[in-house]
Homo-oligomer: A and B are copies of this chain.
Amino acid sequence: MNDARWPWLILVPRRQSAVELIDLEAADRSQLIEEAALAASFLKAHAGAHKINLGALGNVVRQFHLHVIARTVGDPAWPGPVWGHGAARRYEDSDARALIAAAKASLCA
């Protein structure tokens, strides 16, 4: 997510018609939760997060997706949820590239 306030990944299963968790097959659900754990581990190590927030809302964007967000005590929305909180602060290009490279190195190894 292009919002520098929180390191924030979004997992999108390659199942375009899935809206709800129950639209996924059990094997896909299992893969999703394991990939969420990997994403959480990466964010925890990379961002020094105090807490990982997970969420699958989909009230606006219908295609099933899972948010994995690094939260820090005292961050702009703490301890509330990040969704709908104020306006996104875009990354500097170099910062975005660095985060993406670190995520790829951790998750695509």
Binding site for B on A (CB under 8 A): 19-22, 26, 29-30, 32-34, 36-37, 40-41, 44, 51-60, 71, 78-81, 83-84
Contacts and interface: CB of A to CB of B under 8 A. Distances in A.
A56 B41 CA distance: 15
Contacts of A78: 59
A20 B81 contact: no
- Give how many copies assemble into the complex: 2
Contacts of A20: 40, 44, 51-52
5 contacts: A21-B54, A22-B37, A53-B57, A59-B79, A59-B80
Nearest to A20: B52
Contacts of A22: 37, 40-41, 44, 52
A81 B81 contact: yes
A40 B22 CA distance: 7
